[in-house]
Chains A and B, each alone.
Chain A
Amino acid sequence: MKNFLKSLTFLVLWLVWQDVFSVMEIEITEGVEGAHPIAIAAFSGDTYIEPGAVESIVRSNLWRSGLFNVLEPQHFPQVVTDPSRLHFQLWREAGVESLLIGTITRAAEDQYRIEFRLYDLVRQKRLSGHVISSVSSKDVRKVGHKISDMVFESLTGIRGSFSTHIVYVRAVRNSPDTKYELRVADFDGHNARTVFSSATQLMSPTWSPDGTRLAYVSFEGGNSAIYVQDVVKGTRFRVSAQTGMNSAPAWSPDGRYLALTLSIEGSSDIYLMDTQTRRLRRITSGLASDTAIDTEACWMPDSKALLFTSDRSDGTQVYRVSVRDRKVERITFQGKYNAAPDVSPDGRYVAMVHNGGNGFRIAVMDLKSGAMRVLTDGNMDEGPSYAPNGKMIIYATLKHGREVLAAVSSNGRARQQLQAAGGNVRAPDWSSFHD
Chain B
Amino acid sequence: MAKKMLFSMLLTGVLMILGACGTHTEQMLENPDIASVPDGAEGSATKQDGSETSGIGGEDGLSIGVLDEQDSAAGSASDSGTASFADLGNVIYFEYNSSEIRDEFLPLIIRIAKKLEENSTMKVRLEGHADERGTREYNLALGERRAREVRNLIILQGVRDKQVDIVSYGEEKPAVTGSGEEFWQQNRRVELVH
Contacts and interface: CB of A to CB of B under 8 A. Distances in A.
Nearest to A266: B148
Interface in B123-142: 132-138, 140-142
Interface string B161-183: 00000111110110000010000
Given A201-B172, A222-B167, A360 B134 contact: yes
Contact of A380 (B99, B132, B137, B168): B132
B132 A340 contact: no
B179 to A, nearest CB: 8
A296 B138 contact: yes
B148 A203 contact: no
B168 A224 contact: yes
Given A245-B144, A245-B168, A263-B144, A203 B132 contact: no
Given A219-B172, A223-B167, A316-B97, A203 B141 contact: no
Nearest to A173: B177
Contacts of B170: 203
A427 B136 contact: yes
Interface residues of B, number: 23
Interface string A248-276: 10000000000001010011100000000
Nearest to A246: B140
Contacts of A263: 141, 144, 148
Contact of A204 (B136, B142, B166, B167): B136
B135 A339 contact: yes
A382 interface: yes
A349 B122 CA distance: 52
Contacts of B142: 293
Contacts of A383: 135-136
Contact of B140 (A203, A222, A401): A203
B168 A309 contact: no
Interface string A369-393: 0000000000110110000000000
Interface string A395-429: 00000010000000000000000000000001100
A380 B99 CA distance: 22
Contacts of A360: 133-134
A337 interface: yes
Contacts of B136: 203-204, 382-383, 426-427
A267 B169 CA distance: 16
A317 to B, nearest CB: 11
Contacts of A208: none
A345 interface: no
Nearest to B144: A245
A339 B130 CA distance: 16
Contact of A293 (B132, B141, B172, B179): B141
- Most chain A beta-carbon contacts within 10 A, residue among B138, B144, B145: B138
Given A222-B167, A223-B167, A380 B133 contact: yes
B144 A244 contact: yes
Nearest to A427: B136
A326 to B, nearest CB: 19
A87 to B, nearest CB: 53
Interface string B99-134: 100000000000000000000000000000000111
Given A201-B169, A203-B136, 18 more contacts: A203-B137, A203-B140, A203-B170, A244-B144, A245-B168, A247-B137, A248-B137, A261-B140, A263-B141, A263-B144, A268-B145, A293-B145, A295-B140, A296-B138, A337-B134, A339-B138, A353-B134, A360-B133
4 tightest CB-CB pairs across the interface, nearest first?
A268-B141, A293-B141, A201-B172, A248-B137
Interface of B: 97, 99, 132-138, 140-142, 144-145, 148, 166-170, 172-173, 179
12 contacts: A203-B136, A224-B168, A244-B166, A245-B141, A268-B141, A293-B142, A295-B141, A337-B134, A353-B135, A360-B133, A380-B132, A380-B133
